[in-house]
Structure 1
């Protein structure tokens, strides 16, 4: 990871030091779910340094470049299974994350920043929305067949999974080791009934991606009720669909980190960056 981390903040600034300590401090904080001020100084130095470095790396896309390089190496070795599973999971937002001014409806969607200015990175609603569980945030994952995260999108908790499918797919960008355009299209997309819609199927078909999505029960009943006018059911590979548990296992790993299972961050970009750090470590383990 170290060659991909910035060495300084500018020509007149002091160079960055102790990259390992900074990364381990971030991991420790989110795994333990502690306040930044409680970060052990003897191990990680001043908590302000760890926080500021994490905030800068989140805003300038450093963490995304690291995970992209890890995925690029895996793809070059032929280790990525391009049968991609997609799903979302809800996490409760702590009161320390919700004491910000938010519009009533704009819950936002935070994705790969691609070096945009800070004002364009952070959504107005900070990706916090009100659902049945109160104020919540939803993490949307696209993972390969081995559970390796390929895309991370964060939205408000009440956002429907199916609506976010195009944005999750747009976040899949695996650079080619030999140069050229990055790979953005999986062979197949595995999803549950929340993603079943005519629009999503047409979107995947337009990109040449095979859809392995469970059909809604009411749609099945309506088609059968219409008889021959109901048309044919969409193609569905039950054998491939059984591998959709890869994304559920991915969420189980994410929620081992207490600072991700409960959101303590006010800013959506720093919360998403922590999810990306967990994705980096998951990919490195593979």
Structure 2
């Protein structure tokens, strides 16, 4: 799995920027001032999430006015720019055979800082925010801003789908108390790999590996209906219930223990994305801007891999 190398002032490498620059929108010909140094602004966004400094403390001498850095990220998060960049990079990676169709899914908790929680919200948010295509800035924010009460207090949960190499394919954000298994269908629906040259995008992985939190009959039937192989172990109570029923309990679901050994790639992906302190702890009030930071990290991960590919 490729890691993202960053420096303090010039965060993006030249190869990463060459891939990302053509995918960013331009306001040339529209009302208002044309965008300035796009690379400087994107560097500022990355710097903020990597270091978790308040937006106001983003160094002006290196990245320009903090207001510009924040407004650009807010715009890109709301209008789906970072998702479109990720999809374009996935299309390019798929064209050269870099995407492994054996997907792993899991969720990880991020503690919400008090700066992220001083908003009006219900105590138990169960909504999720994922792909924001063609949405205005005022749309796409889930109820409660994706902050919920779990055992660790006020938290947010990132649900991740990664390919067989641990590279990110889909990112969904919910309140921290949201059950992992209940989000499986939404996470899979967020996987979209366009095809260069046209055609329907790839949305169906070959198999899905997940832990026992996903071992519900609903999830197994959903995967079966989509012709996706489930690599999910049974819970002990499910095994006991089936055995109590005897011959009427049915057969145990198929389970490939060797394939399940590779599920840890999703855990390693969380370890990488949480190297960005602004992702490991949530400081953003809005779920869409917090999620966009994780999507931006995914963009850099794929850009790094593509930049290293001849």
Mark yes or no: TM-score above 0.5. yes
How much has 1:282 moved relative to structure 2? 1.4
Q: Which runs of 4+ in 1 moved over 6 A?
A: none
Structure-2 separation of matches of 1:116 and 1:49: 21
1:223 CA displacement: 1.5
Q: Does 1:103 align with 2:122?
A: yes
Residue 124 (structure 1) shift: 2.3
* One of 165, 173, 176 as aligned partner of 1:146: 165
Cα drift, residue 120 of structure 1: 3.0
- Give the corresponding residue for 1:161: 180
Structure-to-structure mapping, 1:221-240, within 5 angstroms = 221-240=240-259
Q: How big is each residue's C-alpha offset from its partner over 1:106-141, in whole Å with a ceiling of 9 and x where there is no partner?
A: 342110011123333011210000001000000000
Cα distance in 2 for partners of 1:23, 1:10 equals: 21
1:17, CA displacement in angstroms?
Answer: 1.8
- Which residue is 2:298 aligned to? 279
State how far apart, in whole Å, the 2-side matches of 1:213 and 1:132 are. 25
**Distance of 2:167 and 2:304 partners within structure 1:** 9
1:127-172: CA deviations, max 9, x gaps?
Answer: 0000010000000000001111000000000000000111101100
Name the CA distance, whole Å, in 2 between partners of 1:107 and 1:192. Answer: 21
- Paired residue for 2:192? 173
More deviation in 159-168 or 221-230?
221-230
> Cα distance 1:25–1:229, how it changes in 2: closer, same or farther (>3 A)?
same
Distance between the aligned counterparts of 2:28 and 2:150, measured in 1? Answer: 40
User: Which 10-residue stretch deviates more, 45-54 or 97-106?
Assistant: 97-106
Counterpart CA distance in 2 for 1:85 and 1:169 is: 10
What is the Cα deviation at residue 221 of structure 1?
1.6
Aligned to 2:136: 117
TM-score (norm 2): 0.90
| Alpha-carbon distance in structure 2 between the residues aligned to 1:186 and 1:60 | 27
Deviates more, 1:4-13 or 1:22-31: 4-13
| Distance in 1 (alpha carbons) for counterparts of 2:110 and 2:158 | 8
**1:261 equivalent in structure 2:** 280
Match of 1:126 in 2: 145
Q: 2:127, 2:142 within 8 Å by CA — same for their partners in 1? A: yes
Question: Does the Cα contact within 8 Å between 1:107 and 1:126 map onto a contact in 2?
Answer: no
Name which of structure 1's ranges 11-20 and 85-94 shifts more when overlaid on structure 2. 11-20
CA drift of 1:105 comes to 3.1
Gap change, CA 1:9 and 1:161, over 3 Å in 2: farther
* 3-state SS, counterpart of residue 120 of structure 1: coil
What is the aligned partner in structure 2 of residue 12 from structure 1? 31
Aligned to 2:132, what secondary structure does the other structure show?
coil
- Output the CA distance in 1 between the equivalents of 2:133 and 2:28: 18
Q: Is residue 254–residue 260 contact of structure 1 (8 Å, CA) maintained in 2?
A: yes
SS in 2 for 1:119: coil
- Give yes or no for contact 1:90–1:139 (8 Å, CA) kept in 2: yes
Cross-structure match for 1:69: 88
Give the distance between the partners of 1:188 and 1:269, measured in 2 at CA: 29
Provide TM-score, normalisation by structure 1.
Answer: 0.97
Number of residue pairs aligned between Structure 1 and Structure 2:
286
Query: How far apart are the structure 2 equivalents of 1:22 and 1:12?
Result: 20
The answer on whether the counterparts of 1:6 and 1:16 sit within 8 Å (CA) in structure 2 is no
Correspondent of 1:37 among 47, 53, 56? 56
Q: Quick one: distance in 2 between partners of 1:270 and 1:152?
A: 13
